[in-house]
Structure 1
Amino acid sequence: MSTPPTAPPESGGAPAAGPSERRRQQRAWYVYDWANSVFPTTVITVFLGPYLTTVAQAAADEAGTERLGVLGWTMDPTALYPYATSLSVLLQLVLLPAVGAIADHTGRKREMMGALAYLGAFATMGLYFVEGTDYLLGAGLFVLANVAFGASVVVYNSFLPDISTPAERDAVSSRGWAAGYLGGALLLTLNLVLYLSHESFGVQEGHAVRICMVSAGVWWALFTLVPLARLRNRRRGASGAPAASGGRMVLGSFGQLWRTVKGLTAHPRTLVFLVAYVFFNDGIQTVIAFAATFADQALELGQEVQIGTILMVQFVAFGGALLLGAVARRLGTKRTILGSLVVWVAVVSVAPLLQTGSAVQFFVLGFFIAIVLGGTQALSRSLFSHLIPRGKEAEYFGLYEISDKGSAFLGALTIGVALDATGGDYRLAILSLTAFFVIGFVVLLAINIPAGIRAAGNEVPEHI
């Protein structure tokens, strides 16, 4: 098996472009966050789960059975969407590092990001045609779209060191997250107007949902044109190396993945950061995933309150990402992330104390979550980018995404065990998530970040 060519050493380090060209590419980079964030916001968070479950139940009713058949496996209709989500996560665990390795070793990041983005966008548009009993079509398109989304984000993140100096990294990453929250919020607002007022538009509810989902795919596809037009590839494979076939390139990328994982032992602080990230990010993802269920089961709040809180969180998170980016420039990135984790512990600890039926208390809690939500994730991304050895950005961001996607089930498992042990008490179940933030805080606190950055061969920013 041939090894993919290694990028020339001189291609690493600070971006070669001047300040004006960097700002131009940074603005284009922000637009991809604006473009793709509508998929998790409109499709995953709000519309697809309930709609696909309804389609699956309709198929079961038509067949006169309580269970559905999927490739020889029978399941309850309500389990289709969770199983489809789990399958897409499993596929990402396998594929994302390979995508990163191929991006690094071919140097064709822009082309790969574009291909993956449009694969995801067109699969999302295809959800418009899911109706009646087309549950297999819906599940298949969702799995394809979610895998393409995650893979495109790996390549997108790997552009960060190419378009920003070490001193710019926190601000650029924070602005990208902010743009994503704003874009997701704007389209979701328009879609909720259509969905909640579908009768006045002369549209049936199911048709309104399908229009909302196709709009996310169209938005994703249209705004992706901006980064594809303005971002520039920087790294190329070694000149004169023979072109590898597609199959040999993929096999070589998995071999490189194994070498990357083994090579993490030479960068222990990078590895320990990933461990910290696995814990506190899993807490974040689980809070997001179960907030609506907590509002329904523990607080007995209606869907209107849940939707209103989702919209508020999107808009406030836009400002929160920028705010924490500014704080990081004064206090340092690590200190700011640690401070945000303290807020997360406080939020999760207070949640069980909320009064049943109090929409105001839930709304206030959502506000504090929004303040630290985008900033914690944006600053984690920029901090990790400093700990990556030169020329390995996409590969290491593949591992970073694995830490994100792969840990997603740990919090859900903890919630499930806690519910089982407490007889369905969602208040105590949510409280169990404090462990993720505390462990993440302690592990991150122990890392000597400047030493890790120097060991990776990178420049240590003034405020880190």
Structure 2
Amino acid sequence: MAIQKGDKKVIRGWVMYDWANSVYNLVISSAIFPIFYDNVTTKHFKETHGYLETQSLPDGVNVTVNFFGWELSNTALMSFVLSASFLCVSFFSPFLSGIADYLGNKKRFLQFFCYLGAASCMTLYFFDPAKIELGLTSLFFASIGFWNSLVFYNAYLPEIAEPKDHDKISARGFSMGYIGSMILLIICLVLIQTKTLEAKWCFVLVGIWWLLFSQFTYRVLPNSVRKETKEKGYIWKGFRELRHVFMEFRQTIRLKKYLTAFFFFNTGVQTVMLMATFFAKKEILWPVKDGKPDDSGLIIAILLIQLLGAGGAFIMSRLSRRIGNIRTLGISIVIWIGICCAAFIIKTPVQFYALAATVGLVMGGVQAMARSTYSKFLPETEDHASYFSFYDATEKIGIVTGTLFFGTMEIIFDDMRFSVVSVAFFFVVGLVMLFRIPKHERSDLEGVYE
């Protein structure tokens, strides 16, 4: 089945995968699971160290967990586990993408990692801090499933739409993802607040939601634009195809420079997004209810980020039409630098709400704009999955770097505030590199600069 660019039915199906999988990013990565993880590991730490459950820990005492005999900060351990998952994704996705391009079965790879991620989310229901190695294994595979599926999902964008529509469709996908994930988060919040279900049931709901709505995508997306005959040794031909794409990639000066800038500023974006909830849970003075910090305010802040993120993606898309993608990205990066600096000094919920609102406005926009800008810089090719695997590998290696850096800074300074403010380094370097991208390499890149 060939793909006709601009087909509204195919585009709607493609967008629906953002609606389906974004619940992982919100409920598992950003909201319910980080709060659940901090609560259960804190409770277990108090039980095993002789503190009462309602007793505040003395100054200088931080929550630690035993991981294969190592005593580590619970948040530092989380950052290291996420780093390991992203390292695996960055290593395997280029090879898998090369094979998918050669065989013409991107959709099958997309489905496999979707199902792996959804099933792993469901197994988080059994998370036990006394057996934390098993629980974090589920999180590890959920992360691999989510991020590897995005490699093949993103690769469809240049196949289903003309370059002039990439910004709009990319922003539409992110916005649909924000809206869909907010709906499920609100459902989870109501169920938890009314004590209808325990928080761990939300992880099962994420898996069901992801599986159910992804079927709309699979019904309309074909496997690939390519129709190769499967031959003996086709796996190695997939590797050779990837090598061929890499040789082409080396000759695209603008694409290489853009990916260098993207590596740095996206490292900052993803690190802040992954660790923001852990930071807020530890460093913000939330009201106390029944002897425990009230987490409802934190979830409201996360909902605020999502709500503004949906609008922010479209605002940046419209701004890019006026001043170009590169300048629009530059403005958002400057705002991100301010966010990191502000996080070092905020302490109250009201201050965190203001910061969360700012994050929301630039979070979705910078992701959508980064994806669509990359698709515009691609040379004429049918190897879209292979090219997007380089984009994805750059993103994941950056996240490995950022999360390792974040966890290491916390261990060195014993203070997450230093970890957050130090992330500004990645944004500064990314901003400098962004404006070193040459303006001319291809003649059909209208709207990228101006």
Identify the residue that residue 341 of structure 1 maps to in structure 2. Answer: 333
Residue 231 (structure 2) pairs with residue 243 (structure 1): yes
User: Are 2:86 and 2:400, in contact at CA under 8 Å, matched by a contact in 1?
Assistant: no
The within-5 A match list for 1:81-100 is 81-100=78-97
Identify the residue that residue 353 of structure 2 maps to in structure 1. Answer: 363
TM-aligned CA deviation for residue 164 of structure 1? 0.8
Identify the residue that residue 327 of structure 1 maps to in structure 2. Answer: 319
Q: Which amino acid aligns with 2:114?
A: A
TM-aligned CA deviation for residue 344 of structure 1? 1.6
Question: Aligned equivalents of 2:283 and 2:43: distance in 1?
Answer: 26
RMSD: 3.1
Task: Pick the aligned partner of 2:302 from 295, 305, 310.
Answer: 310
TM-aligned CA deviation for residue 264 of structure 1? 2.9
- Using a 3 Å threshold, how does the CA distance of structure 1 residues 425 and 136 change in structure 2: closer, same or farther? closer
162-171 or 41-50: bigger deviation? 41-50
Identify the residue that residue 61 of structure 2 maps to in structure 1. Answer: none
Question: Aligned equivalents of 1:41 and 1:297: distance in 2?
Answer: 19
Identify the residue that residue 209 of structure 2 maps to in structure 1. Answer: 219
- Using a 3 Å threshold, how does the CA distance of structure 1 residues 60 and 244 change in structure 2: closer, same or farther? farther
- Using a 3 Å threshold, how does the CA distance of structure 1 residues 463 and 265 change in structure 2: closer, same or farther? closer
143-152 or 124-133: bigger deviation? 124-133
SS in 2 for 1:17: coil
Residue 377 (structure 2) pairs with residue 387 (structure 1): yes
Question: Aligned equivalents of 1:270 and 1:243: distance in 2?
Answer: 32
Q: Which amino acid aligns with 2:319?
A: V
Q: Give the paired residue count.
A: 424
Residue 15 (structure 2) pairs with residue 30 (structure 1): yes
Identify the residue that residue 367 of structure 2 maps to in structure 1. Answer: 377
User: Are 1:112 and 1:152, in contact at CA under 8 Å, matched by a contact in 2?
Assistant: yes
Identify the residue that residue 155 of structure 1 maps to in structure 2. Answer: 152
Q: Determine what percentage of the aligned residue pairs are the same residue.
A: 29
TM-aligned CA deviation for residue 256 of structure 1? 4.0
- Using a 3 Å threshold, how does the CA distance of structure 1 residues 142 and 412 change in structure 2: closer, same or farther? closer
SS in 2 for 1:411: helix
Unaligned runs of 5+ in 1: 1-10
Question: Aligned equivalents of 1:318 and 1:346: distance in 2?
Answer: 21
Question: Aligned equivalents of 1:449 and 1:183: distance in 2?
Answer: 37
SS in 1 for 2:69: strand
Residue 395 (structure 2) pairs with residue 404 (structure 1): yes
429-438 or 335-344: bigger deviation? 429-438
TM-aligned CA deviation for residue 413 of structure 1? 4.3
- Using a 3 Å threshold, how does the CA distance of structure 1 residues 139 and 59 change in structure 2: closer, same or farther? farther
TM, length-normalised to structure 1: 0.82
- Using a 3 Å threshold, how does the CA distance of structure 1 residues 388 and 135 change in structure 2: closer, same or farther? same
438-447 or 137-146: bigger deviation? 137-146
- Using a 3 Å threshold, how does the CA distance of structure 1 residues 346 and 135 change in structure 2: closer, same or farther? closer
Unaligned runs of 5+ in 2: 49-63, 287-292
SS in 1 for 2:200: helix
Identify the residue that residue 180 of structure 2 maps to in structure 1. Answer: 183
Residue 69 (structure 2) pairs with residue 74 (structure 1): yes
Question: Aligned equivalents of 1:368 and 1:59: distance in 2?
Answer: 34
Q: Which amino acid aligns with 1:196?
A: Q
User: Are 1:166 and 1:461, in contact at CA under 8 Å, matched by a contact in 2?
Assistant: no
Identify the residue that residue 6 of structure 1 maps to in structure 2. Answer: none
The within-5 A match list for 1:278-289 is 278-289=263-274
Identify the residue that residue 4 of structure 1 maps to in structure 2. Answer: none
